[in-house]
Amino acid sequence: MPNPIIKSFWDKPTGSWQYVFHDPETMKGAIVDPVLGYDPLAGAVDTIRANEILDYITEAGIEIVWILDTHPHADHFSAASYLKGKLGAPTAIGEHVVKVQALWKDIYNLGDEFRTDGSQWDRLFKDGERFNVGHMPVTVFFSPGHTMASITYVVGNAAFVHDTLMMPDSGSSRADFPGGNSRELYRSVRRILELPFDTRLFVGHDYAPEGRAPSCEATVREHLASNKHFKGLPTEEHFVRVRDARDATLPLPKLMLAALQVNIRGGRLPEPEGNGRSYLKIPVGYFESRQESA
């Protein structure tokens, strides 16, 4: 089985990593977690990062056969719908996205016209399900904790682990969003770290701590040796204490309340109103402020 050729794209404003991987034999490929730009001060959307992906696949001669989300993101808009319109490739996410949709439908007080059946994607993957990109089989791991719907895609010697793990010097991702759970996150990471030692783990975010260059890849072996939260494989109780204490100090992502209502729609803005414009809702008072007092 061939190993995938992987191209990474970093979105500096959100610290997000996007990926294109392809089968070198057939030149068929997939896009993972593409970003749609959003300026919250202007309410303006842009396709700069998504167009960089389009330019790359055109120049490389890749035929995209899947556009894959790992979960509904809280810190950027998904460009899955935009890229489907350009490429015609089907979109997919994990089957538990319906739980996230139901949760946030209530938070946003969306009407009956908003469907919570995952029909905004072409396919909902189950845990353990396999599909092909060219000659390469891709296996889906259900890996909740960061969200209720998070999944990991494992292909050849690579795994796209979304927001379970960060780079080793940053540890793991937070588990305090609605529906998140630090115990489930621990179990998901342990499952990922049972992959072969040389498996390359590609993360969803990197905030480049202490001024180092942004990075997106480390092997299972490297995480076991030096990951801030998983070196030495701590007990579940120890990890939960550390993770929950850290999460209690973190502000909510600045784009979360805008991003989730787009991403539970598969990367689509709410339907335009009578004047032709889309509007985003803010659930005032649902979340407690995490800003430091003056």
Q: For the chain, list the strands marked E by DSSP.
A: 5-11, 16-22, 28-32, 35-39, 44-46, 63-68, 77-78, 91-94, 123-125, 130-133, 136-142, 151-155, 158-162, 200-203, 217-219
pLDDT bucket at 211, cuts 50 / 70 / 90: confident
| Residue 61 zone, left/alpha/beta (φ > 0; ψ -120 to 50; rest) | left
How many other CB atoms are found less than 10 A from the CB of residue 279? 11
Please say if the pLDDT value at position 293 is more than 50: no
Q: What are phi and psi of 18, to 5 degrees?
A: -120, 155
Q: pLDDT per residue over 229-243, tens digit each?
A: 999 999 999 999 999
| Structure tokens given for 3 | 């190993």
Closest C-alpha among 56, 48, 49 to residue 7 = 56
Positive or negative: CA dihedral 103, 106, 108, 110: positive
239 burial type by CB count under 10 A (0-12 exposed, 13-18 middle, 19+ buried): buried
pLDDT(71) > 90: yes
Cα 64 from Cα 90, distance rounded (Å):
9
pLDDT attached to residue 97: 98
Q: What is the pLDDT of residues 193-205, one digit of tens each?
A: 999 999 999 999 9
pLDDT higher than 50, residue 187: yes
Q: What is the pLDDT of residues 263-273, one digit of tens each?
A: 999 999 999 99
- Indicate the pLDDT class of residue 2, thresholds 50, 70 and 90: confident
- The band of 141, judged by pLDDT with boundaries at 50, 70 and 90, is very high
pLDDT reported for residue 294: 38
